[in-house]
Chain A
Amino acid sequence: MTARAAHGGELRRVQWRGMGALAERETLRVLRLWKQTLIPQILVAVLFIVVFGIALGERINDIDGVPYEQFIVPGLVLMGVATAAFANNGTSIYQARSDGFIEDPVSSPMTPGQLLSGYLSGGVLRSALIGAGILLAARVFVAFPIENVAITLAALTAAALAFASLGTVVGLYARGWEHQNFVGNILIQPLVFLGGVFYSVDDLSEPWRTLTQFDPIYYLVATTRKGMLGSSGVALGLSMGITLGLAALMLAWAYVSVRRGVGIRT
């Protein structure tokens, strides 16, 4: 028997096939576990719209000339996208590490970038389905515009990538489920709620108004709101810059973590 290692174009095909398989595995996981991965977050967003928008919304004045039930929709979509992306990658990667089967793709010929792309695909798909689901469900209760599809898609895609990457990092570093829950519940959830999903930051008194401006999710919500409703109270250049910058930063962090083999290689 003669030993033969793939090289050149053949090796690249081998690696891309590997990435495709990992991406398929991650997306199938999302679709097969739809009762856990999709329905709860869409339901929560719809309940927020019904309770805060419909039931209580009539008692709340328009914000920046926008009816309250409309005002909260972009933030709820963003919240669903971000939390789903984080939860998906954190859970999938920590589970694979905890059970040990992550060593199967990690010991394959895939590059670190391809491994990361494969894992991110699940989080991005789950976010896309949840974002679309919330928009469709919200439409039943609230008439809202999407003024600029490109800005809306850019904001939501950047949010999905940023939080799927953060989930990847946490999934790699976590030493137990409690670490992951800690980041999700104690860090991300408060930042989302305090990021202007349910209120205009202009209505806050100091120091809360200034403090909110240090919350990166505030800018993600503002970019999404700008795309959907046409105004957000934050300059588009600033909010889009921070949105894309956050996505780039998180992607870089996840890439470096995978490349260094954090939580995978000893």
Chain B
Amino acid sequence: MSASGSQTVPALRCQGVVKRFGALTALAGLSLEVPEGAFFGLLGPNGAGKTTLIRGAVGLTRLDSGSIEVFGLPVSGTTAARTRTMLGYAPQEVALDRFVPVREALVLHGRYFGMTRRDAAARSDEMLRVFDLADRADSYANELSGGMRRRLHLARALVHGPQLVILDEPTAGVDIELRRDLWEYIRRLHADGTTILLTTHYLEEAEALCERVAFIRDGTIAAEGTPPLLREQFGAGRLEEVYLRLVGR
């Protein structure tokens, strides 16, 4: 059963999405479906439109035309608030509230998304354990290392138990050890039934994690499928080769 009451609607459905910033067309009629329960990778070069699309899904970018639905509900208009209760979003840039300690930041996030104080506190403690931050619960974000900040940033997106988690380049600029740790956290989350939409520059990351990927280029989907299917279609050994052929190199 889906949010709208019908059977098996996709977790995310984008149809003919257009977004322009002045003369620049960031999204040029993009259509995409992320099935419920999928681990989906959205890949593409800088400026391809990945971040614009996912910011549109969480209500931080207004579309010029087209529609985005989360579990069958439009993300704009009267159902916008309902869709946001089901979404968790970790932006590319780590942006943490410097005025509250780590645990309180997590509790506040849970409460922003409607959890009771008690539930948010219990869930925050769980997140602190899962993300190895329990001993820094009373520290402020600016007292944490870069890796800890990245973990806290991801933990915050998950506090309210979203059904669709959107991660915008969660491992950009992190060392190999932390990247592996983050992969492990994300895999566990997916194993628990959460739909994951991941954008990444690292094609080996998409290959290792994603069941299905879409290449976005010039604001549209250039290719989509499972990694084995795409490799076969393009006669490539790795997704990196698929990507290079798509960009004409």
Minimum CB–CB distance for B57 against chain A, Å: 10
Q: Check A107–B81 contact: CB distance below 8 A.
A: no
**A99-B59 contact given A7-B82, A18-B113, A111-B81, CB 8 Å threshold:** no
B147 contacts partner chain A, Cβ-Cβ < 8 Å? no
Q: Check B112–A21 contact: CB distance below 8 A.
A: yes
Q: Check A11–B82 contact: CB distance below 8 A.
A: yes
The stretch among A22-30, A130-138, A224-232, A250-258 that forms the contact with chain B is A22-30
The stretch among B90-98, B122-130, B229-237 that forms the contact with chain A is B90-98
The distance in angstroms between the C-alpha atoms of A21 and B89, with both chains bound, is: 19
Q: Check A101–B97 contact: CB distance below 8 A.
A: yes
Count residues of A near B (Cβ-Cβ below 8 Å).
39
**A100-B93 contact given A5-B82, A11-B85, CB 8 Å threshold:** yes
B16 contacts partner chain A, Cβ-Cβ < 8 Å? no
Which residues of chain A (13-40) have a CB below 8 Å from chain B?
13-15, 17-18, 20-22, 24-25, 28-29, 32-33
The distance in angstroms between the C-alpha atoms of A125 and B93, with both chains bound, is: 32
**A17-B85 contact given A25-B100, A104-B156, CB 8 Å threshold:** no
Contact partner of A3 (CB less than 8 A), chosen from B59, B86, B114, is B86
Q: Check B60–A14 contact: CB distance below 8 A.
A: no
Best-buried of B83, B84, B98 by chain A (most CB within 10 Å):
B84
Contact partner of A1 (CB less than 8 A), chosen from B87, B93, B194, is B194
The distance in angstroms between the C-alpha atoms of A29 and B108, with both chains bound, is: 13
Contact partner of B81 (CB less than 8 A), chosen from A15, A28, A100, A104, is A15
Minimum CB–CB distance for A262 against chain B, Å: 12
Minimum CB–CB distance for A131 against chain B, Å: 23
Give the residues in chain A near B60, CB-CB below 8 Å.
103, 106-107, 264-266
Minimum CB–CB distance for B216 against chain A, Å: 18
B73 contacts partner chain A, Cβ-Cβ < 8 Å? yes
The distance in angstroms between the C-alpha atoms of A265 and B99, with both chains bound, is: 23
Q: Check A14–B163 contact: CB distance below 8 A.
A: no
A2 contacts partner chain B, Cβ-Cβ < 8 Å? yes
Which residues of chain A (230-266) have a CB below 8 Å from chain B?
261, 264-266
B61 contacts partner chain A, Cβ-Cβ < 8 Å? yes
B71 contacts partner chain A, Cβ-Cβ < 8 Å? yes
Q: Which residue of B lies closest to A16 (CB)?
A: B114
Q: Check A107–B108 contact: CB distance below 8 A.
A: no
Contact partner of A109 (CB less than 8 A), chosen from B62, B113, B164, is B113
B2 contacts partner chain A, Cβ-Cβ < 8 Å? yes
Q: Check B156–A3 contact: CB distance below 8 A.
A: no
The distance in angstroms between the C-alpha atoms of A184 and B3, with both chains bound, is: 47
B169 contacts partner chain A, Cβ-Cβ < 8 Å? no
Which residues of chain B (152-202) have a CB below 8 Å from chain A?
156, 163-164, 192-194
Q: Check B89–A107 contact: CB distance below 8 A.
A: yes
Minimum CB–CB distance for B40 against chain A, Å: 15
Give the residues in chain A near B37, CB-CB below 8 Å.
1
Q: Check B62–A3 contact: CB distance below 8 A.
A: no
